[in-house]
Chains A and B, each alone.
Chain A
Amino acid sequence: MSITEERTNNVIGQRMLRREDPALLTGEAKFVNDLVIPGALHLAVLRSPYAHARIVSIDVSDAASMPGVVAVYTGKDLHSTWAAPMPCAWPVTPDMKNPAHYPLAIDKACYVGDGVAAVLATSETASRDALDAIDVVYEPLPAVIDLEDALSDRVIIHDAIGTNKSYTWNLKVESAEGAVDQAFKNAAYTVSERYIQQRLIPMAMEPRAVAAVPQPFGGDVTLYSATQVPHILKVMTAITLGIPEHQMRVVAPSVGGGFGSKLDVYAEELLCVALARKHGAPVRWVEERSENTQATIHGRGQIQNIELAADKDGKLTAVRVRLIGDMGAYLQLVTPGVPLLGAFLYGGVYHLPQAYDFSCTSVFTTMTPTDAYRGAGRPEATYAIEVAMDALARTMGIDPYELRKRNYIQKEQFYDATGNHVGYTAFHGLNYDSGDHLAAAEKAMQHANYAGIRKQQKTQNVPGARKRLGIGMTSYFEMCGLAPSRVLASLNYGAGGWESATVRVLPTSKVQVVTGTSPHGQGHETSWAMIAAEKLGVAPEDVDVLHSDTAIAPLGLDTYGSRSLAVGGVAIAGACDKVIDKARLIAAHQLECAAEDLQFDKGTFSVKGSPDKAVPIAAIAFAAFTAHNLPDGVEPNLEAQYTHDPKNFSWPFGTHICVVEIDTETGKVDVLKYVAVDDCGNQINPLIVEGQVHGGVVQGMAQALYEEAVYDKDGNLKTSNLAEYLVPAACDVPPITTDFTVTPSTTNQLGVKGIGEAGTIGAASAVMNAVIDALSGLGITKLDMPASPNNVWKAIQSVQGGK
């Protein structure tokens, strides 16, 4: 038996090392492309070299006769294979335009990388060699890469919908009609800013890979994919291919990072399944990196216009936001919803009256489709409000921290008049579960030595100084824990936001946790075992966590949006409660007492007041298994399933501070210090929490300083591989100072909030505020990301003429 008398219920909160690591460290872990699949055919996809072109003709005859080639298909050949176009699950408005999107283009290619033909061959090299022998005649059309140009409809990309505009979505909240206009009219200070959220390439280190294995009889198919969303993929593949859902099984084995880029349903997944069924043989595909930069979704891609109105003290009185969102050539799974995820956050962490006017218009362009990338809408929103707050502070001539302090939602505002914690109901009606922004900010200030840096600036940033010092901050809210199903319904999302868990105590008292989350680097196996161990009073090593195979974990909504702990982890706790409730009935039966007279602690039920009358859950598990002597009405086996539908989003928050030094002669920005003080509520495993912050911060910093998907005027991606797209290396980034405050969430039993995206949400604006702070003495108050040496140098030249 695994349950010792010394068992304590203090597993949660320990820095437990990850059980995932040995397999990953020794090469034993299997990613999709490591799977040995005898007899598999290899798929290769021919991609359009034009951003926008009519397909006049495709001649596959030479390719089809090459050695090893089994078949070559065009979009026309496969058109009848698809029961439905590729899915977009988020029709954000009833009149949203969504052009039909098929795994292979039929009449027109709409971005560089759009698939136009597919080769099946007996080896990967043979399949790729044959691509060169396919003869496609294109009639090139003008590219559309500028969002405002796209909106003008000068060139229509999708003839069938007759416009490049996909939708306009509004969120206007006014205490009385005209409140926003009135606030701007009465404002003592206003700022009006325009920011560009450049396109980013998510660049998970494992490119995508797919393998579809059909059963020889009966029609069942197993799809292995490097995906974050095996459950969503199963449903969508079934719908798109007209396969009965119960005949589809999706497995995500070890997955090498996602960051949103594997939260999708991709052409190659559908092609592999369709062709595996057609040929009665396994079909596999692996993405090359330079293919990944074009065929896997991009992130960000927005033009943001933000206006703030403030009274004479700098207190915000209204916010107005106008966005243009770059959808790329087609709508992928949640493409149109990304700007909406930010729509509630342009008021930041500030007490804003009901004077808010948000509108987003999204357009098609002839570039790779965009979709969710780490933070999805929330880093963009945080960037806009936080960089604009610095602009407002400059306009007023006050310190940016002082301005924030005047505007923070105060800790007391989370309580009602009688001192009950009720959360803070924001201007838009959503309730922020808990928060203490000032506490997090103060802690960050101390770590960063804010006052000391301000003092040092006075001596260092003198006229003619080669190296200028800057300090910038961001206070953020992250709306995560996606999501309450009813709220998703109000946003027209095509699914719910619940998560499922099954907890099973086996006859020998070992525990299986089955989760609907699908980890790809986050360490869920370790953390979920800790939750179950804490709840059931067993050792974490006696808990196994099963996931990412729809045959083993049939119910789930997968991993994205910092939802896994706040929804999936809480579901596990709920399933444990149900197991304990059932075990209590059996324990009461064995101890001949009433169930309500029992207490459960450290894995053992005991009669209140008679601690010697006790039975461990291990014994109950065995009794439930033998079923020889169960109370009436209690089913054999100790197992429970629980589905958690969160009643609220969770709202992690924090303050990040960045210190930079800029070489005015080279334009190079050196990050001297980065402080992240985050509050994600209770922490299950602080080791993993810190790791999530480190990685998130560097991704946000990378947007601020290094990364940009650059297209030329003809729509060619100039940064199409890792030699040209600058993912930072270890020497490009500093160590990160992490610290935390702990303000538990009040809306779930674990008090947890989520941490996956916080770093990315806070970092880009903290870094850019520091950069602009360093340069503002030169007269530079605006700079687009990335603040690369070239861009910074040019900005300095433009104000100084090189002096």
Chain B
Amino acid sequence: MQVSITINGTKQSHDVEPRTLLVHYIREHANLTGTNIGCDTSSCGACTLHLDGEAVKSCTILAAQADGGSVTTIEGLSKNGEMHPMQKAFMENHGLQCGYCTPGMVMAAIGLLNENPKPTEDEVRLGLEGNLCRCTGYHNIVKSVLAAAKK
């Protein structure tokens, strides 16, 4: 079936199997591999991106369901060679180590601040509940998000 999605501002159209998940569409058809896959139960959040402005786990949605929608991936965050403030905050606060959960974590964190621009530490921890990281113990991720919220 034909699926058309605006990805990082550019409309793309691809012929895909109906069972194709949005994350596979992004990685294999749109060739954007920054969005990672970390599980098969929608538990880890590594594949989080923005669909029509909302942070979603792209493994929970069929590409067909996103037809006509607008997607922002990690590759679409930086503007004019400048990283997004959330990306900068992660760098400045050592909010990543291996970096595999990072794209999803950054997209989820931006979604969190969109809904709650001045969260408390507990609200950040609860808000990122759907994104797993195995390296950082979350300490510096939480610090990064709180720092981005202050900007």
Q: A-facing mask of B102-143, CB < 8 A → 1, else 0?
A: 110010000000000000011011101111111111111110
Given the complex of chains A and B, what is the CA–CA distance between A520 and B77 in angstroms?
24
A205, A521, A691, A735: residue with the most chain B Cβ atoms closer than 10 Å: A205
**Interface contact A730-B138, CB-CB below 8 Å:** yes
Size bracket, chain A contacts: 35 or more
With A289-B41, A691-B94, A723-B43 known as contacts, the answer to whether A25 contacts B137 (CB < 8 A) is no
**Interface contact B101-A288, CB-CB below 8 Å:** no
Q: What is the interface size of chain B, counting residues whose CB is below 8 A from a CB of the partner?
A: 56
**Interface contact B142-A694, CB-CB below 8 Å:** no
Give the chain B neighbours of A727 by CB distance below 8 A.
Answer: 132, 134
Give the chain A neighbours of B125 by CB distance below 8 A.
Answer: 729-731
Given the complex of chains A and B, what is the CA–CA distance between A18 and B38 in angstroms?
24
**Interface contact A25-B41, CB-CB below 8 Å:** no
Give the chain A neighbours of B27 by CB distance below 8 A.
Answer: 34
Given the complex of chains A and B, what is the CA–CA distance between A26 and B103 in angstroms?
7
**Interface contact B99-A256, CB-CB below 8 Å:** yes
A33, A259, A694, A727: residue with the most chain B Cβ atoms closer than 10 Å: A694
**Interface contact B137-A736, CB-CB below 8 Å:** yes
Given the complex of chains A and B, what is the CA–CA distance between A290 and B75 in angstroms?
28
Instruction: Kindly identify which residue among B40, B46, B140 contacts A691, using a CB–CB cutoff of 8 Å.
Output: B140
B90 within 8 A of A: yes
Closest to A125 in B: B17
Name which of A138-146, A545-553, A574-582, A695-703 contacts chain B: A695-703
Instruction: Kindly identify which residue among B17, B44, B135, B138 contacts A521, using a CB–CB cutoff of 8 Å.
Output: B135
**Interface contact B44-A205, CB-CB below 8 Å:** yes
B92 within 8 A of A: yes
Given the complex of chains A and B, what is the CA–CA distance between A722 and B96 in angstroms?
21
Give the chain A neighbours of B37 by CB distance below 8 A.
Answer: 33, 207
Given the complex of chains A and B, what is the CA–CA distance between A697 and B138 in angstroms?
11
With A205-B46, A257-B97 known as contacts, the answer to whether A729 contacts B33 (CB < 8 A) is no
**Interface contact B38-A289, CB-CB below 8 Å:** yes
A523 within 8 A of B: yes
With A727-B132, A729-B128, A729-B131 known as contacts, the answer to whether A24 contacts B94 (CB < 8 A) is no
Instruction: Kindly identify which residue among B75, B126, B132, B141 contacts A27, using a CB–CB cutoff of 8 Å.
Output: B75
Given the complex of chains A and B, what is the CA–CA distance between A25 and B36 in angstroms?
12
B91 within 8 A of A: yes
**Interface contact B98-A256, CB-CB below 8 Å:** yes
**Interface contact A20-B83, CB-CB below 8 Å:** no
Give the chain A neighbours of B87 by CB distance below 8 A.
Answer: 25-26
**Interface contact B97-A206, CB-CB below 8 Å:** no
Give the chain B neighbours of A30 by CB distance below 8 A.
Answer: 33
B73 within 8 A of A: yes
Instruction: Kindly identify which residue among B17, B74, B91 contacts A18, using a CB–CB cutoff of 8 Å.
Output: B91
**Interface contact B130-A203, CB-CB below 8 Å:** no
Give the chain A neighbours of B134 by CB distance below 8 A.
Answer: 203-205, 257, 259, 695, 699, 727
Give the chain B neighbours of A729 by CB distance below 8 A.
Answer: 125, 128-132, 138
Give the chain A neighbours of B100 by CB distance below 8 A.
Answer: 31, 204-206, 256-257
A687 within 8 A of B: yes
Given the complex of chains A and B, what is the CA–CA distance between A290 and B36 in angstroms?
16
Closest to B133 in A: A205
Give the chain B neighbours of A699 by CB distance below 8 A.
Answer: 134, 137
A40 to chain B, nearest CB (A): 12
**Interface contact A17-B92, CB-CB below 8 Å:** yes
**Interface contact A691-B91, CB-CB below 8 Å:** no
**Interface contact B83-A22, CB-CB below 8 Å:** yes
B44, B78, B100, B106: residue with the most chain A Cβ atoms closer than 10 Å: B100
A8 to chain B, nearest CB (A): 23
B37, B73, B96, B137: residue with the most chain A Cβ atoms closer than 10 Å: B137
A522 within 8 A of B: yes
Q: Which chain A residues in 511-536 approach chain B with CB under 8 Å?
A: 520-523
Give the chain A neighbours of B141 by CB distance below 8 A.
Answer: 730
Q: Which chain A residues in 291-340 approach chain B with CB under 8 Å?
A: none
A560 to chain B, nearest CB (A): 15
B39 within 8 A of A: yes
A255 within 8 A of B: yes
A25, A30, A254, A723: residue with the most chain B Cβ atoms closer than 10 Å: A25
Instruction: Kindly identify which residue among B83, B129, B133 contacts A25, using a CB–CB cutoff of 8 Å.
Output: B83
Given the complex of chains A and B, what is the CA–CA distance between A49 and B137 in angstroms?
34
A29 within 8 A of B: yes
Q: Which chain B residues in 58-104 approach chain A with CB under 8 Å?
A: 73-75, 77-78, 83, 87, 90-92, 94, 96-103
Q: Which chain A residues in 706-724 approach chain B with CB under 8 Å?
A: 721-723
A595 to chain B, nearest CB (A): 42
A28 within 8 A of B: yes
**Interface contact B138-A257, CB-CB below 8 Å:** no
Given the complex of chains A and B, what is the CA–CA distance between A290 and B38 in angstroms?
10
B147 within 8 A of A: no
**Interface contact A733-B91, CB-CB below 8 Å:** no
A676 to chain B, nearest CB (A): 10
With A26-B75, A27-B73, A29-B99 known as contacts, the answer to whether A206 contacts B40 (CB < 8 A) is no
Closest to A521 in B: B98
A688 within 8 A of B: yes
A493 to chain B, nearest CB (A): 27
Given the complex of chains A and B, what is the CA–CA distance between A578 and B134 in angstroms?
39
Instruction: Kindly identify which residue among B44, B83, B142 contacts A730, using a CB–CB cutoff of 8 Å.
Output: B142
Give the chain A neighbours of B96 by CB distance below 8 A.
Answer: 21, 24-25
Given the complex of chains A and B, what is the CA–CA distance between A143 and B74 in angstroms?
46
Given the complex of chains A and B, what is the CA–CA distance between A445 and B31 in angstroms?
53
**Interface contact B138-A22, CB-CB below 8 Å:** no
**Interface contact B98-A206, CB-CB below 8 Å:** yes
**Interface contact B74-A27, CB-CB below 8 Å:** yes
Closest to A36 in B: B31
A703 to chain B, nearest CB (A): 13
Given the complex of chains A and B, what is the CA–CA distance between A415 and B140 in angstroms?
39
Given the complex of chains A and B, what is the CA–CA distance between A375 and B27 in angstroms?
35
What are 6 inter-chain pairs, A to B, with CB distance below 8 A? A21-B90, A25-B91, A34-B27, A695-B134, A696-B137, A698-B137
Binding site for A on B (CB under 8 A): 17, 27, 31-41, 43-44, 46, 73-75, 77-78, 83, 87, 90-92, 94, 96-103, 106, 121-122, 124-126, 128-142
Q: Which 7 A-B pairs have the closest CB atoms?
A: A27-B34, A24-B99, A256-B100, A521-B98, A698-B137, A34-B33, A722-B43
Binding site for B on A (CB under 8 A): 17-18, 20-31, 33-34, 36, 125, 203-207, 254-257, 259, 288-290, 520-523, 687-688, 690-691, 694-699, 721-723, 727, 729-731, 733, 735-736, 759
A sample of 20 more A-B contacts (CB under 8 A), given A25-B96, A31-B33, A125-B17, is A18-B91, A18-B94, A25-B90, A25-B103, A26-B75, A27-B33, A30-B33, A34-B27, A36-B31, A206-B36, A207-B38, A254-B99, A290-B40, A694-B136, A694-B139, A722-B43, A729-B125, A730-B125, A730-B138, A736-B139
